[in-house]
Amino acid sequence: MFVDEVRITVRAGRGGNGICSFRREMFVPRGGPDGGDGGHGGDIIMTASHRLTTLLDLRYQKQYEAQDGRAGGGSNCTGRSGEDTTIIVPVGTIVSDDQTTEILADLIEDGQTAVIAHGGRGGKGNSNFATSVNRVPTKCTPGTPGEERTLRLELKLLADVGLVGFPNAGKSTLIAAISAARPKIADYPFTTLIPNLGVVRWGSHRSLVGADIPGLIEGAHEGKGLGVQFLRHIQRTAFLLHLIDVSEWATEDPIASFETLRRELAAYDPALSHRPFSVVATKIDVVGTSERLSKLRTYCQHEGYPCLAISAAANKGLNDLITYVGKQVDTLRKMPCETSS
C-alpha cells in the first residue's frame, strides 16, 4: 500500500531531577553538598532512508516517545541521559507541525537527519548552589519536560522526470517500456492508483528516475478524480513530459487535452508553469492517428514547444525520447535547483 501522508504524535523525554545530597564520610565532618544533576531527556530524530518508499509503517504506529533522563545521584553523579528515538522515513519526506504548519524538516537526501522534538534538560543538584555564604544549600531543581508535537508527514517523491497526462494516455505503458517498473496496465481509466518510479538507463552508464503520476482530469486541483492526491509528487520533478493520446480512441482534441493539463498544473502550483517540459504524442501505432498527430505538431511548432511522437507498445520512438530526456536532465542537474518543495 502506498501511503504519502500521515499524522503522528511525538514526545521527547523529560529531563531527570537534580537531587539534594550531602557528602557523608568517616573523618570528613564537613563534607558539603554533593547532589548531582539529572540526565537530559532523549530526542525524537527523523532519518531519511532510500530503503523506504512509503509512510505505511507510520500509519499503524502513531505515537513515539523518547526515554526520560534519570535523576542525579550523590557524590556529584549525573543521571543517565535518556535514549533518543529515531524514526525512519522515506527520502523526500517533509515534516511539519500539524498545529502551526511550520516546516520542521525537509529530508531530501539518504541518511539526512533532523531533531524534531528536543528532550528536556536535566535539573540541577544542590552542589551547583553552594556559595561562600551558603555552604549547605538544600535547593535543587527538577528536570524540564521534553517537547511534544503532533506532526504531519508528507512524502513527495524525488524523480528527474514526471509523466503527466489524462487517464489512458499511455503513462504506465511508457514507464514499463523504458524501465524495470511494472505498473498495472489495463484498458480502463484510473488504472494507476499510486505513483510508480522507474530507473531509466541511457547513454554510457547514465540513468535517470521517472515517475508515472496517476491520470489527471479537468478540475483535479479542486479535488476531482485522483490527481489532487498525487499532484504533490510532480513538484519534486525537474522535467515534465506531457503525454497526449493522438489515437482515434481519444475522446478529446489533443490540443484541448494539452491546454487542460497546463491549466491544472498551474492552478495547483504556479511554479509548475515554469517547469521545463516536452509534449509527447502517444499511441502513434494506431491507425488513423496521422491527422491528430499533425495537428498537435503544428500547434507545438507554432508555440515553440518540443514535441516527440512515440508508441510504447510498439517500441517506436523510445530511443530518441530517452536520449532527448536524458540530455535535458543532464543540463538541469548542472543548474541550481529551482523546483518547488
CATH code of 17's domain: 2.70.210.12
pLDDT of residue 341: 46
The more confidently predicted of residues 226 and 310 is 310
pLDDT of residue 228: 54
Q: Which of 130, 155, 180 is the last residue of a domain?
A: 155
265 plus 326 within the same structural domain = yes
For the ranges 17-31, 85-99, 110-124, 136-150, which has the lowest average pLDDT? 17-31
89 plus 19 within the same structural domain = yes
pLDDT at 296 over 90: yes
pLDDT at 28 over 90: no
pLDDT band at 105 (very low <50, low <70, confident <90, very high): very high
| Nearest partner of 197 among 330, 6, 54, 323, judged by Cα | 54
Q: Which of 101, 128, 155 is the last residue of a domain?
A: 155
Non-local CB neighbours of 206 within 8 Å, separated by 6+ positions: 326, 330
Average pLDDT of the chain is: 85
105 plus 222 within the same structural domain = no
pLDDT at 188 over 50: no
pLDDT at 59 over 60: yes
Q: Tell me, yes or no, whether 66 lies in a domain.
A: yes
pLDDT of residue 215: 61
pLDDT of residue 180: 73
pLDDT of residue 144: 96
221 plus 329 within the same structural domain = yes
145 plus 12 within the same structural domain = yes
288 plus 165 within the same structural domain = yes
HSE of 214, CA atoms in CB hemisphere, 13 A: 19
231 plus 319 within the same structural domain = yes
The more confidently predicted of residues 69 and 184 is 69
144 plus 175 within the same structural domain = no
Residue 250, classed as helix, strand or coil, is coil
Q: Tell me, yes or no, whether 339 lies in a domain.
A: no
Query: Total domain count for the chain?
Result: 2
Q: Tell me, yes or no, whether 341 lies in a domain.
A: no
- For the residues of 74-142, what is the DSSP string, one character each? TTTBPPPPPPPEEEEEETTEEEEETTT--EEEEE-STT-EEEEEPPPPPPPPGGGG--SS-SS-----P
Domain that holds residue 220: 161-333
pLDDT band at 1 (very low <50, low <70, confident <90, very high): low
Average pLDDT over residues 312-328: 91
pLDDT of residue 119: 96
Average pLDDT over residues 118-123: 96
pTM of the model: 0.71
For the ranges 3-12, 159-168, 230-239, which has the lowest average pLDDT? 230-239
If one counts every other C-beta atom within 10 angstroms of the C-beta of residue 299, the result is: 16
pLDDT band at 2 (very low <50, low <70, confident <90, very high): low
pLDDT band at 289 (very low <50, low <70, confident <90, very high): confident
